[in-house]
Chain A
Amino acid sequence: AQSVTQLGSHVSVSEGALVLLRCNYSSSVPPYLFWYVQYPNQGLQLLLKYTTGATLVKGINGFEAEFKKSETSFHLTKPSAHMSDAAEYFCAVSDDTGRRALTFGSGTRLQVQP
Chain B
Amino acid sequence: ETGVTQTPRHLVMGMTNKKSLKCEQHLGHNAMYWYKQSAKKPLELMFVYNFKEQTENNSVPSRFSPECPNSSHLFLHLHTLQPEDSALYLCASSQAGASGVGNTQYFGPGTRLTVL
Contact = CB atoms under 8 A, between A and B. Distances in A.
B and A form one assembly: yes
A66 B107 CA distance: 24
Contacts of A102: 45, 103, 105
A76 B107 CA distance: 20
Contacts of B108: 43
Interface of B: 4, 6, 33, 42-43, 45, 48, 56, 90, 92, 96, 99-110, 112
Given A32-B102, A95-B102, 11 more contacts: A43-B4, A43-B90, A43-B108, A44-B90, A50-B102, A99-B56, A101-B33, A101-B45, A101-B56, A101-B103, A107-B43
Interface residues of A, number: 26
A90 interface: yes
A52 B56 contact: no
Interface of A: 32-34, 36, 41-46, 49-52, 90, 94-96, 99-102, 104-107
A104 B103 CA distance: 13
20 contacts: A32-B103, A34-B104, A41-B112, A42-B109, A42-B110, A43-B6, A43-B90, A44-B90, A44-B92, A46-B104, A49-B102, A49-B104, A50-B102, A90-B43, A96-B102, A100-B103, A101-B33, A102-B45, A106-B42, A107-B42
Contacts of A52: 100
Contacts of B110: 41-43
